[in-house]
Amino acid sequence: MTRNIVILGCNGFIGSHLAQRIIETTDWHIQALDIANHNLTSLLDHERFHFTLGDITKSHEWLDRHIPLADVVLPLAAIANPLVYVQDPIRVFELDFEANLDIVKRCLKHNTRIVFPSTSEVYGMATDSEFDEQNTHFVLGPIHKERWIYSCSKQMLDRIIYAYGKHHQLPYTLFRPFNWIGPRLDNVFEKNANQSRVVSKFLSQIVRGENIELVDGGQQRRCFTYIDDGIDALMKIIENNNGCADQEIFNIGNPNNDFSIAELAENILSLAKHYPKYLDKAEQVKITHTSAAQHYGAGYQDVSARVPAVHNAQQKLGWTPKVDMQSALQQTLDYYLQ
């Protein structure tokens, strides 16, 4: 059966990779909406890819037309940048919570299945050795630590979607990406790219010959997941064979790629020196230190470690991450620096 997939925020990192995989490997049709399309140029003329330039907060007629006809809706439009959480928390709340709540309610109205991107950040500062979807407590900081508005917005939507599913039969799946990386993560050549997510930030600093700044020594640990592994899981969730993903929550991460931010910086800098065009600049780069307050502002608070338990995805989706950290970084740098 041909499926109709609605992807909101399709031009973003996850959306563009998902759209590419769908077009290349299935006969599904995609209705896509975003405020830009530079990551989708290879798909724009494809007969099964239908793109509209628009904003989910304003394109109400488009949503009214396409959500009732969709088999699956993926609302991927969100701000996922820690610096913005601190500097413009209201903007984060308005898009990540309010605008996406509207999408959830539209799906409920038409009984349309929603596959919603939660986040590893919902677990906050939990102290478990690995974060489990069913048992790990969510631990957020005080109100003046504005960094948590993203986590809190996503967590509340998780709870709303769960409640709609349990009490009003909304068909849903929640997935929680753990530090997905790869091509198109961000534009590292943009002026403000050194304020973006950590892999993009370090690459941006290298291509400019600027020092890499480690916040609080870079001792925080993260588990990095290559985008192809993440999309493998997403495809299984969308396919939903025998209802395997119905009303489920899945951590999608790679617990084997557990590295400190300092180790990440050292690995990226070392790899960058193998690209002749950037060798001179990479040789100039030093790894320096700054405080969280200096880098992000007083509203920031960090997490020391974030390791996903992935047994639920392994058992119910038959999914296991395959790409090791070296390969993930190599393929990411090839995209940007070759």
CA dist., res. 249 & res. 234, Å (int)? 12
pLDDT at 195: 65
Candidates 146, 283, 322, 305; CA nearest to 223 is 305
pTM of the model: 0.97
Candidates 68, 69, 93, 65; CA nearest to 79 is 93
pLDDT at 259: 98
CA dist., res. 265 & res. 247, Å (int)? 38
Element spanning 45, H or E: none
- As given in the structure block, the two tokens for residue 305 are 């470690």
Name the pLDDT band for 191 (thresholds 50, 70, 90). Answer: confident
CA dist., res. 9 & res. 288, Å (int)? 35
Percent of the chain past pLDDT 70, that is, above it, reads 99
CA dist., res. 37 & res. 317, Å (int)? 31
Q: Average of pLDDT values for 109-133?
A: 98
Name the pLDDT band for 130 (thresholds 50, 70, 90). Answer: very high
280 burial (CB, 10 Å; 0-12 / 13-18 / 19+) is exposed
Percent of the chain past pLDDT 90, that is, above it, reads 96
pLDDT at 227: 98
Q: Average of pLDDT values for 170-179?
A: 98
- Give just the sign of the alpha carbon dihedral 30, 197, 264, 147: negative
Residue 193 has pLDDT above 90, yes or no: no
Candidates 92, 327, 315; CA nearest to 229 is 327
Given CATH 3.30.930.10, say whether it is the number of domain 4-181+227-256+305-322: no
pLDDT at 190: 85
Q: What is the pLDDT of residues 76-98, one digit of tens each?
A: 999 999 999 999 999 999 999 99
Q: What is the pLDDT of residues 268-321, one digit of tens each?
A: 999 999 999 999 999 999 999 999 999 899 999 999 999 999 999 999 999 999
